[in-house]
Structure 1
């Protein structure tokens, strides 16, 4: 019986994020086709610059928020925390997802401000400010060609919204689709056929890499 073709990763986060994730799985070929474009939007820059303490659940908000100047920043996980430290914030690192970050915010007596995108997976019990939008992008020609093929395609789902957008873009795919979801909510948001799916044991890039490892168990040996 012929061996099944090696699956290919279809990475749909912004280019730099996708390349960083691909480096975690060097044995898998990959195609990058961002599904979202990050676009800064008008906001109260003076209020953001003067905020005593900030909450970062996305790295995109850090550059928009500007220099930390020693201000406190609650960060959702290690990647966001590392970028906030580089920007000069005094970081309190969270456990990797907004749900588990919430009790830390509720225990703080600081006046917190959460700069975030127009679309958020979870509302937090602090003041919020929209500082960027996440505009949908169509899959590129390489991604569509991949989905039209016969080899399995692994789709990491980093949020419920990206899962919904990808399900529409991948509708009618001829390739077997394998889903690796960052959360149960992201997997539930997928409205389309798939051959198999795994939920990350932790809601971060390492957890997704582990889920992909389970999907490909035996396929790459």
Structure 2
């Protein structure tokens, strides 16, 4: 039986880290093609005139942006545990946001208003977090600390999707899902793993099996990807053998 090949389309550093985590969890080498569909360009904007009492971080890159801007010691609302780890490493005081934009918003609104907030984010976002906080009466500004530039699928990635070997592709955001969907049509047998329902929706044009992680967290994506890798490989082997 031939293992499915992983197609990893995150920015390269994140893709390599995820592959390493998958291999540790699997206890073996996994065949993969790293073909990023996004490039990350970091930015360091000037500090706003009003000093924030706290930060809002919806990615690890937001935490790194805080460090570049010289923010230390501030409480930082973090969307998930990996962002919280990055915030702590940057010298901030992480506050748990529950794992999604919706739970993050609810957590902030349930907490006492301690002063102005600053959301450090990328140039593509969803959820209108700042606008919704302002509508709820919170003083909240935002600053762009990184840009996400779309990249074409590499020749190796295209060849994989045009081939016959089964492919498992995890997706971590609605935007990366939409970029991957733009690679349709696909000839290869394809299984997709989405971090959330929002990331699953844009995948419809690929007409492939989609599994959703149980939680929007890295560990849940590792579990879901390895499960898809194992079960999809078995299914394709059964089809190929006529079982």
Q: TM-score surpassing 0.5?
A: yes
In 2: Cα distance, 1:48 partner to 1:160 partner: 33
1:24 is displaced (CA, Å) by 2.4
Q: How far apart are the structure 1 equivalents of 2:227 and 2:50?
A: 44
Q: CA-atom RMSD, angstroms?
A: 2.2
Residue 166 of structure 2 corresponds to residue 152 of structure 1: yes
Number of corresponding residues:
216
- Provide the C-alpha distance between the structure 2 equivalents of 1:194 and 1:211, rounded to a whole number of angstroms: 19
Report the counterpart of residue 200 of structure 1 in structure 2.
Answer: 213
Query: Max radius of gyration: which structure?
Result: 2
1:18 corresponding residue in structure 2: 15
Contact persistence 1:55–1:74 (CA under 8 A): yes
What is the TM-score normalised by the length of structure 1?
0.88
User: How much does 1:132 deviate?
Assistant: 2.4
Report the counterpart of residue 241 of structure 2 in structure 1.
none
CA contact (8 A) 2:168 2:229 kept: no
1:33 aligns with 35
Cα pair distance change 1:49/1:19, threshold 3 Å: farther
| Partner SS for 1:37 | strand
Structure 1 segments of 4+ aligned residues over 6 angstroms from their partners? none
Partner of 2:102: 99
More helix by share: 2
Select which of 120, 128, 149 maps to 1:123: 128
Cα pair distance change 1:41/1:83, threshold 3 Å: closer
The TM-score, its normalising length taken from structure 2, stands at 0.81
| 1:41-89 per-position Cα deviation (integer Å, ceiling 9, x unaligned) | 574x221893221010011122222244211111111111111111110
Q: Structure 1 residues 98, 166: closer, same or farther in 2, change over 3 A? A: same
